[in-house]
Amino acid sequence: MSALEPRDADVADISDRSRLRDEPADTVLSRSHRSLSIGIVSVVLLIAFEATAVGTAMPVAARELDGVSLYAFAFSGFFTTSLFGMVLSGQWSDRRGPLGPLTAGIGSFAAGLLLAGTAGAMWVFILGRAVQGLGGGLVIVALYVVISRAYPERLRPSIMAAFAAATTVRAAPGASRSRAAKCAVRASASWSRARLSRTAAAP
């Protein structure tokens, strides 16, 4: 078989370029990735909003539960178990894929919200926050693994940008966050109902 003549090679190259231009560009919101992209951003947005709301509502919760002296443990417990969850999720994902830690993480996060929202004592509230932190750590790392496996390399910067944008809920102006959280607490009969309303919205 003879090699293509230079003119034939040029024609073939032009034909390939025209075909690529005619094909719609694949994006994170294309049909093949749309549901996954929306799901990822929704989960991250929920976790970020919860962290923002809890930070504002914590003084009310600590006073109602007579646990001001244990105030710091509600945050340190969350972050400590979150770090443990991240390590566990990474190893779990490497061995069996991200579906297991992602499912367990969402379940733990919702269970932690429910436990903290129904707490009648400060130690129960702290326990709920710890369970919630474990779930958050499992979810975040599992989502990174999902992104690396489900998206081609050229789409990863786009979905990671959306991921990062969802976390900027925490960076909203302090006054706006405070007013929003206080309105949510006042609209409910107590801070517990405000937290439980977010549990109902968990995926």
Domain count for the chain: 1
H or E segment and range at residue 189 = none
Residue 21 included in any domain:
no
Range of 187's domain?
A: 32-200
Report how far residue 195's alpha carbon sits from residue 114's, in angstroms, rounded to the nearest whole number: 8
| Lowest-confidence segment of 13-27, 106-120, 157-171 by average pLDDT | 13-27
Question: For the purposes of burial, counting CB atoms within 10 Å of the CB of 180, is it exposed (0-12), middle (13-18) or buried (19 or more)?
Answer: middle
Report how far residue 130's alpha carbon sits from residue 113's, in angstroms, rounded to the nearest whole number: 10
Is the model's pTM score more than 0.85?
no
Query: Taking Cα atoms as reference points, which of 130, 36, 115 lies closest to residue 85?
Result: 130
Domain with residue 64: its CATH number is 1.20.1250.20
Residue 7 included in any domain:
no
The pLDDT tens digits for 79-93 are 999 999 999 999 999
Residue 182 included in any domain:
yes
Q: 49 Cβ partners below 8 Å, 6+ apart?
A: 169, 198
Report how far residue 96's alpha carbon sits from residue 66's, in angstroms, rounded to the nearest whole number: 43
CA 134 remoteness from chain centre: 13
Residue 11 included in any domain:
no
Residue 3 included in any domain:
no
Residue 43 included in any domain:
yes
The DSSP code for 25 is P
Average model confidence (pLDDT) across the chain: 78
Report how far residue 102's alpha carbon sits from residue 146's, in angstroms, rounded to the nearest whole number: 9
Residue 13 included in any domain:
no
Residue 8 included in any domain:
no
CA 77 remoteness from chain centre: 19
Looking at mean pLDDT, say which of 3-17, 73-87, 175-189 comes out highest. 73-87
At 12, the pLDDT band (50, 70, 90 cuts) reads very low
> Quick check: helix, strand or coil at residue 73?
helix
pLDDT at 145 over 60: yes
